Chain A
Amino acid sequence: MENFQIEGENYIPTVNFNADTGVLEISGESYHEYTIEFYQPIFEWLKNYLSEPNRKLVFNFRMTYFNTSSSRRFLEIFDMLEAYSKEKGGDVTINWYYQEEDIDMMESGEEYAEDVDLAFNLIPIESSNV
């Protein structure tokens, strides 16, 4: 299966999904107004990738900002991953990175962790390393 990449710019996040290593990563800022359209190819790739059972995957979120519209799309991604781990033997780990002083980003991660049943790591990083 092909890897999936989006080069981030401005309000568009950088996306790197590696089908071989099972490391899926999204980073940067996401505040497209039409997130349904923007995230469509991302969902299609994921759906395809998750059609094969028993994969081991790590999903890294390294966001510095996302709007409320993107927040809905992220919840949909978590729902997909939760279903995959429950119904198809998937081994899913979420790493939610945030700048150590960014309490809003930390709380966003905590709230997703409460909303879905997935292995969820909240990982503070020093700002200089973002």
Chain B
Amino acid sequence: MTTLLFLEQTLNGLQQGVMLFLMAAGLTLVFGIMHLLNLAHGSLYMVGAYVCATVTQASGSFLIGLACALGASAATGMVIEVLAMRRLYNREHLDQVLATFGIILFFNELVKILWGPQALFLNPPDFLNGTIEVLPDTPYPTYRLFIIATGLVVALGLRHLILNTRVGMLIRAGATHREMVGALGVNIDWLYTIVFGLGAMLAGLAGALAGPMLAIQVGMGENILILTFVVIIVGGVGSIRGALVGALLVGLVDTYVRAFLPMGLREVLEPASADSIGAAISGMGIYILMAVVLLFKPNGLFQAYGDN
């Protein structure tokens, strides 16, 4: 009984971790390679969710919605990169924070003008809208299993892209020797635009996948952004592998602490104080994790390629 609950919570932790990974992978690439602190990453997540919900409703197919969301968020990301981000690469981090915070406000208002303040409706597609008994007596939502599978496929795909393809090689080279790569005739500006678009597409994928589970509303990307920053700090800035490990760690720790800490406290304290103390501490779980990791590994768990 308790073992089953533990395993179910592990699945929940993995699923949360996978969502965080999709966000963190893009953010860490942009931060590690372009040295750009992009607070507006959450806006691309929101764009993904809104486009997916709208297209799914119009076309009746979630998969078409998903595909359009990927295209739209990648395109939005590339347009932002060309219009705004490009001017920020050589600026201070504080300038970047200010500018990208402005972009958040811009997108929140734009989405409100286009779609209105009401939350949108989106359900999982019928073939994923049910439960599967993955463990005896423990029905688990099929849609969450689908998210775990998608995330792992994306992780493998990214690994292949970075390590085994020409684009991946240029990304790695561009991170450390920008001028040298440029001197060899590669258009660095376009390379950055592509990397930014890729990160935006991953954020859009996360948003579109989250849509059927969450409220699709203005500002939805800001909640997940804070956790995403924790992930890339834990994992090591710029490292995709770090993003994956960090995301899974954060997802698991957050889930375990939320699920089991109040329960455990109830064994030793009276229920009323156990509930309030449990609720207070479980909100801190991942930040305690981050502090511990930074204590022993000030640069995060994994070094980015450039610093090897």
A and B are interacting partners: no
